[in-house]
């Protein structure tokens, strides 16, 4: 009886070791760890752990146990969360949407700033729990009331559900600011990665709501601002830099927008866009809008491939302004509140931030810009992982706090 069990356990152990060795060896030849990163060894270990998680998630998905995103979310929420005695945390629901409310315990004689925080994770990872330490520190250090929104995620909940959840929660909060001691004149939307896209879209969507307090400012941390031009300099330079490779970015993109993976090569070449559509938006999306200093690490201009009409029919909803804050009309962008934009040099999405920064500035919107020369995508979220924190992570938090205190 014990022999078959021991054989099974031995086979499982051997398979696990084989998967681990395969991931480590394959990433050794494909991952690009920039020398300018403060702790390259730390990033390498983190990257291997992440890729191993993705691999096991894919295996479990093939076996019908759970989806890969579900497995990543499960692992994401495993680390214990520290409690800060100086911050009161409440689990609430705005309608059906779960949120976490963070309030400094020390009383205030005047209403505080309110910060709506939308977490990153490509709409398939990230959660209220995994960002609790970050939101807690943001609330404490900026003396603000922070509300983190637990929007529903892909692949179960696709576009436009996550964005709609964020808007519903935002409207609910704006209507009840007095309950939380928030100054209606100092409400800020904030997010990292896809959460930054949510923040930018929320600003635009609520611009003409006369029944609600106006958004005072927006904080966009390496935000996703466009999803059609994948040939920008940063996409070429940082295609294999952890923690967001071009392949994984497309994986998130296809899950959220419900686009079949078979269109990957067409989309990456820009062949899904008709010529007239590309020319219409090129003035905002083209690489000529990127400063020359960001092309020095290597960049080759690539013209969109021959148009594929079938691909366009299946992917044209990516051009919805909710997914593409960059292409909003001038009348909308020119009336947006001031922005604090954080970009990272070794980030696949670096140029999204640069394009939006230029668009805002060209239309007279004040922009405070912080560029992290040693930064990479996802570095801000490492604040909650003690052993993987980077100096850059704290600098981003400090920049956010400084900006908030100036409002």
What's the rounded mean pLDDT across residues 163-177? 97
Compute the mean pLDDT over every residue in the chain, rounded to the nearest whole number.
Answer: 92
* Residue 398 in this model has a pLDDT that exceeds 70: yes
pLDDT at 338 over 80: yes
Q: What percent of the chain has pLDDT over 90?
A: 78
Residue 193 known to be catalytic: yes
Annotated catalytic, 157?
A: no
Interval 210-254: pLDDT, tens: 999 999 999 999 999 999 999 999 999 999 999 999 999 999 999
Q: How confident is the model at residue 386 (pLDDT cuts 50, 70, 90)?
A: confident
Confidence of residue 16 (pLDDT cuts 50, 70, 90): confident
Whether the pLDDT of residue 364 is over 70: the answer is yes
- Read off the pTM: 0.95
Distance CA(155)–CA(254), nearest Å, equals 9
pLDDT given at position 7: 62
Annotated catalytic residue, options 133, 192, 347, 374: 347
Do residues 115 and 190 lie in contact, with contact meaning Cβ atoms separated by under 8 Å? yes
pLDDT of residue 387: 84
pLDDT for 80: 75
Q: How confident is the model at residue 6 (pLDDT cuts 50, 70, 90)?
A: low
Tens of pLDDT, residue by residue over 50-109, are 999 999 889 989 989 888 988 998 888 888 788 889 999 999 999 999 999 999 999 888
Q: Which of 102, 97, 194, 202 is nearest to 149 (CA)?
A: 97
Tell me: pLDDT of 200 over 80.
yes
Q: Which residues contact 278 (CB under 8 A, 6 or more apart)?
A: 270, 285, 304
- pLDDT value, residue 126: 93
pLDDT: is 16 or 330 the higher one?
330
Give mean pLDDT, residues 266-271.
91
Distance, in Å, from the CA atom of 267 to the CA atom of 271, rounded to the nearest integer, reads 6
| Catalytic status, residue 347 | yes
Q: How does strand 112-118 pair with strand 144-149?
A: parallel
Which of the residues 73, 130, 144, 193 is marked catalytic?
A: 193
Give the DSSP per-residue string, 255-280.
HHHT--GGGHHHHHTTTTS-HHHHHH
Catalytic residue among 234, 352, 377, 393: 377
């Amino acid at each position: 009886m014990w022999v078959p069990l021991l054989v099974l356990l031995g086979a499982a152990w051997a398979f696990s070791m084989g998967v681990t060795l395969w991931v480590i060896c394959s990433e050794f030849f494909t991952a690009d760890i920039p020398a300018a990163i403060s702790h390259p060894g730390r990033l390498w270990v983190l990257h291997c752990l992440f890729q191993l998680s993705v691999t096991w998630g894919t295996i479990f998905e093939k076996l019908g146990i759970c989806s890969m995103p579900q497995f990543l979310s499960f692992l994401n929420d495993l680390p214990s969360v520290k409690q800060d005695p100086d911050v009161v945390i409440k689990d609430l629901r705005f309608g059906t949407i779960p949120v976490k409310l963070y309030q400094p315990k020390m009383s205030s004689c005047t209403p505080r700033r309110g910060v709506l925080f939308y977490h990153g994770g490509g709409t398939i990872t990230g959660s209220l729990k995994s960002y609790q330490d970050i939101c807690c520190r943001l609330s404490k250090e900026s003396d603000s009331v922070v509300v983190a929104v637990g929007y529903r995620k892909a692949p179960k909940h696709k576009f436009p559900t996550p964005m709609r959840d964020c808007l519903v929660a935002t409207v609910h909060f704006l209507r009840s600011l007095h309950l939380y001691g928030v100054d209606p004149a100092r409400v800020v939307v904030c997010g990292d990665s896809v959460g930054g896209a949510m923040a930018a879209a929320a600003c635009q969507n609520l611009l003409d709501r006369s029944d609600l307090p106006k958004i005072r400012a927006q904080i966009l941390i390496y935000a996703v601002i466009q999803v059609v031009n994948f040939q920008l300099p940063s996409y070429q330079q940082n295609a294999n830099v952890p923690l967001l490779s071009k392949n994984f970015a497309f994986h998130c993109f296809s899950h959220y927008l419900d686009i079949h993976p078979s269109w990957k090569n067409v989309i990456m070449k820009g062949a899904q866009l008709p010529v007239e559509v590309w020319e219409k938006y090129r003035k905002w999306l083209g690489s000529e809008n990127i400063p020359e200093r960001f092309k020095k690490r290597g960049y080759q201009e690539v013209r969109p491939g021959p148009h594929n009409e079938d691909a366009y029919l299946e992917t044209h909803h990516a051009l919805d302004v909710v997914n593409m804050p960059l292409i909003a009309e001038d009348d909308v962008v020119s009336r947006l509140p001031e922005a604090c934009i954080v970009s990272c040099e070794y980030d696949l999405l670096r140029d999204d931030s640069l394009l939006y920064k230029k668009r805002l500035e060209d239309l007279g919107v004040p922009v405070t810009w912080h560029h992290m020369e040693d930064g990479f995508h996802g570095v801000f979220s490492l604040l909650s992982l003690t052993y993987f924190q980077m100096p850059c992570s704290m600098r981003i938090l400090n920049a956010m706090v400084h900006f908030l205190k100036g409002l």
